[in-house]
C-alpha cells in the first residue's frame, strides 16, 4: 500500500460554516418513487426551497475534542461544495450550517434548538459525540426533525420505535468491540486482555462487545472527558499485567494513553476503536518526532474506504485539494466526505420534492448503500448503517487494511464471521444518481 500523509492537525477557529450555492447542472432524479407529501410545494417543508436544502450540525470546533474532530465538518463542507458545483441533488444545492458545541452537552442543546427553531433546517446531519448528541435526540424526535447519521456508534441511535427520526453513521460500538476482540483473540490467544474506556455509552457499548467475545477482561479502567491525566488508569493496567489493551477512547485520549504509557516504560499491544484510531490525527497530537514510533503496530477497526489506492480515497483527495484548501488528509477527511455523500444519496432517494417524512422513508426502504467496505443496511427495524468492519494495522508509518480481515456481526451475541463480499464501488464521480 502507498503511504498516507501525516501532517499535524490544524485547529480551526471558525464556529460557523456555510457551503456556497454554486453550479447549474442538476442531478437526475433517483428511481425511488416520491415519498408521502413530496408532491407539495417546497416552501411547505422547513429548510427546503426550490433551489436549496438547508441542513445543520453540532460539532466541537473549540475545546479539548476540536483538534480530533473539527476537520470532519470541514471535509463534509468540501464535499457539499463539490456536489453543488455539479448541480446539487435534483437541482437543489446544499446549504450546510455548522455550529460549535465545544463537546459540551449543554451547549449542544442550545445550538441544536437554534438550528431547528431559528435556522429552520431540514435536518440535523452528523451531530457529533455520544454524550453531546444524547442531550438532543429526544428533542429532535419530538419535533419530528430528521436526525441523520449521528457521529457516534452508540446503541442509542438504533431505537426505531423510540426514536424513529434518528439514524447512526458510525459502525455501532458493540459490533466494533466484537470485531476487534475477535481479531485480537485469534492473534494473541494467551494475552492478558484489558480495557481503557470513556465513562459513557461509547465506552460501555464497546466494552459490551469486547466481553461478548472474550467473556471477561482482566482489568477495566475508565476516564471522563474532563480528565487531564491518565496516569492512574495506565498505571493500573500496567500493574494488572495487561498485554493487550483495547481502547474505547476518542482521539485525544488515545494519544494521551499511548504517550503516558511510553513515559512509564509500559509496553503493550494497543487496539483502538475507529473513533480514536486514525493514524494521521494521532500523529498530530503526539508529534512527528515521537508519534510514528509510539503508534507502530497500533490495531484499529474501520468501516469506510481507507487505503490510498482506493477510488473513493482518490476522489476525496481531489475534493480536499480543490475545495478544502488542501487541508491535512486524514481518516476524518474520509469520514466527513463519506457522510456527506450518504446524505446526498438519501436526499436523492427522497424524490424531486423532498420532505422530512420522505427522507426517513427512503432510508428505511434499504435503498441507501453509502460507501462503506460493507454496504449500509438501513431498514425500518435497523437504523444502524454498517454491519461490519476491517482491521487496520500501522506498519512503518502506514496504516492500511489487512487483507482478508473484514468481519460482520450483529449487536447481540451472534458470531463474528468473515466477510467476502465487495465494498461499495465508486460510480458517477461520487455524485449520487449520476
In a domain, 291, yes or no: yes
One domain for residues 163 and 184 = no
Is 41 exposed, middle or buried, given 0-12, 13-18 or 19+ CB atoms closer than 10 A? Answer: exposed
Please check whether residue 28 lies inside any domain of the structure: no
Q: Model confidence over 13-63: pLDDT tens digits? A: 333 333 333 333 333 333 333 333 433 444 589 999 999 999 999 999 999
Helices and strands counted in the chain (H then E): 13, 13
Give me the CATH number covering residue 360: 3.40.50.2300
In whole numbers, what is the pLDDT of the chain averaged over residues? 90
The pLDDT assigned to 14 comes to: 32
In a domain, 426, yes or no: no
Number of domains in the chain: 2
Confidence of residue 434 (pLDDT cuts 50, 70, 90): confident
Q: What is the pLDDT of residue 38?
A: 39
Same domain? 117 vs 224: no
Domain extent at residue 232: 173-304+390-418
Q: Which three cell numbers stand for residue 245?
A: 489493551
Range from 38-42, 87-91, 344-348 carrying the lowest mean pLDDT: 38-42
pLDDT in tens, 209-266: 999 999 999 999 999 988 999 999 999 999 999 999 999 999 999 999 999 999 999 9
Q: What's the pLDDT score for residue 64?
A: 79
- Please check whether residues 122 and 225 belong to one and the same domain: no
Residue 43: predicted pLDDT: 55
Q: Let me know whether 91 and 142 are in one domain.
A: yes
The answer on 209 and 183 residing in a single domain is yes
Indicate whether 288 pLDDT > 80. Answer: yes
* C-alpha span between 280 and 9 (Å, rounded): 8
Tell me which DSSP letter residue 178 carries: H
Confidence (pTM)? 0.86
| Listed residue (223, 181, 226) closest to 204, CA to CA | 223
Same domain as 177, residue 166? no
**Residue 55 included in any domain:** yes
Does residue 259 form part of some domain? yes
Q: Clarify whether residues 190 and 265 are in a common domain.
A: yes
pLDDT at 426: 97
Determine the angle formed by the axes of helices 331-349 and 66-85, rounding to 10 degrees. 40
Claim to verify: residue 200 and residue 295 sit in the same structural domain: yes
Q: Are residues 349 and 365 located together in one domain of the fold?
A: yes
pLDDT per position as a tens digit, 387-429:
999 999 999 999 999 999 999 999 999 999 999 999 999 999 9
Does residue 5 carry a pLDDT above 90? no
DSSP assignment of 247-288: EE--HHHHHHHHHHHHHTT---EEEE-GGG--HHHHHHHH-T
For residue 27, is it within any domain? no
98 shares a domain with 54:
yes
Asked if residue 258 belongs to a domain, the reply is: yes
Please indicate, yes or no, whether residues 291 and 401 belong to a single structural domain of this protein: yes
Mean pLDDT of 292-320: 97
Residue 26 confidence (pLDDT): 33
pLDDT of residue 9 exceeding 60: no
Q: Are residues 357 and 224 in the same domain?
A: no
Let me know if residue 432 belongs to a domain: no
Amino acid at each position: 500500500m502507498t503511504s498516507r500523509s501525516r501532517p499535524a492537525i490544524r485547529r480551526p477557529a471558525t464556529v460557523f460554516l456555510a457551503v456556497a450555492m454554486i453550479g447549474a447542472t442538476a442531478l437526475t432524479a433517483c428511481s425511488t418513487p416520491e415519498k408521502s407529501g413530496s408532491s407539495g410545494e417546497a416552501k411547505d417543508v422547513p429548510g427546503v426551497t426550490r433551489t436549496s436544502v438547508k441542513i445543520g450540525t453540532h460539532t466541537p470546533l473549540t475545546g479539548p475534542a476540536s483538534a480530533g474532530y473539527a476537520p470532519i465538518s470541514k471535509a463534509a463542507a468540501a464535499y457539499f461544495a463539490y456536489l453543488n458545483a455539479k448541480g446539487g441533488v435534483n437541482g437543489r444545492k446544499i446549504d450546510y450550517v455548522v455550529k460549535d458545541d465545544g463537546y459540551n452537552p449543554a451547549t449542544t442543546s442550545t445550538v441544536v434548538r437554534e438550528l431547528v427553531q431559528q435556522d429552520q433546517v431540514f435536518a440535523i446531519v452528523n451531530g457529533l459525540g455520544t454524550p453531546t448528541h444524547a442531550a438532543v435526540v429526544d428533542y429532535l424526535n419530538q419535533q419530528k426533525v430528521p436526525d441523520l447519521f449521528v457521529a457516534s456508534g452508540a446503541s442509542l441511535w438504533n431505537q426505531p420505535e423510540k426514536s424513529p427520526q434518528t439514524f447512526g453513521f458510525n459502525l455501532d460500538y458493540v459490533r466494533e468491540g466484537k470485531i476487534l476482540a475477535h481479531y485480537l483473540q485469534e492473534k494473541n490467544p494467551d494475552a492478558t486482555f484489558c480495557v481503557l474506556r470513556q465513562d459513557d455509552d461509547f465506552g460501555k457499548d464497546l466494552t459490551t462487545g469486547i466481553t461478548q467475545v472474550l467473556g471477561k477482561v482482566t482489568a477495566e479502567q475508565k476516564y471522563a472527558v474532563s480528565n487531564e491525566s491518565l496516569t492512574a488508569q495506565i498505571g493500573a493496567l500496567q500493574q494488572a499485567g495487561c498485554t493487550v489493551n483495547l481502547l474505547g477512547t476518542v482521539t485525544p485520549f488515545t494519544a494521551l494513553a499511548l504517550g503516558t504509557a511510553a513515559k512509564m516504560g509500559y509496553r503493550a499491544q494497543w487496539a483502538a476503536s475507529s473513533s480514536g484510531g486514525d493514524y494521521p490525527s494521532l500523529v498530530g497530537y503526539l508529534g512527528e518526532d515521537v508519534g510514528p514510533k509510539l503508534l507502530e503496530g497500533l490495531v484499529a477497526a474501520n468501516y469506510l474506504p481507507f487505503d490510498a489506492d482506493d477510488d473513493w480515497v482518490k476522489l476525496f483527495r481531489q475534493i480536499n485539494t480543490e475545495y478544502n484548501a488542501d487541508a491535512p488528509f486524514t481518516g476524518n477527511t474520509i469520514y466527513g466526505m463519506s457522510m456527506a455523500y450518504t446524505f446526498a444519496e438519501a436526499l436523492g432517494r427522497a424524490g424531486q420534492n423532498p420532505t422530512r417524512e420522505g427522507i426517513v422513508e427512503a432510508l428505511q426502504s434499504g435503498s441507501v448503500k453509502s460507501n462503506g467496505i460493507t454496504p449500509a443496511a438501513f431498514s425500518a427495524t435497523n437504523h444502524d448503517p454498517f454491519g461490519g468492519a476491517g482491521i487496520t494495522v500501522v506498519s512503518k508509518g502506514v496504516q492500511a487494511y489487512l487483507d482478508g480481515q473484514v468481519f460482520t456481526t450483529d449487536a447481540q451475541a451472534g458470531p463474528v464471521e468473515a466477510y467476502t463480499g465487495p465494498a461499495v464501488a465508486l460510480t458517477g464521480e461520487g455524485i449520487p444518481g449520476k
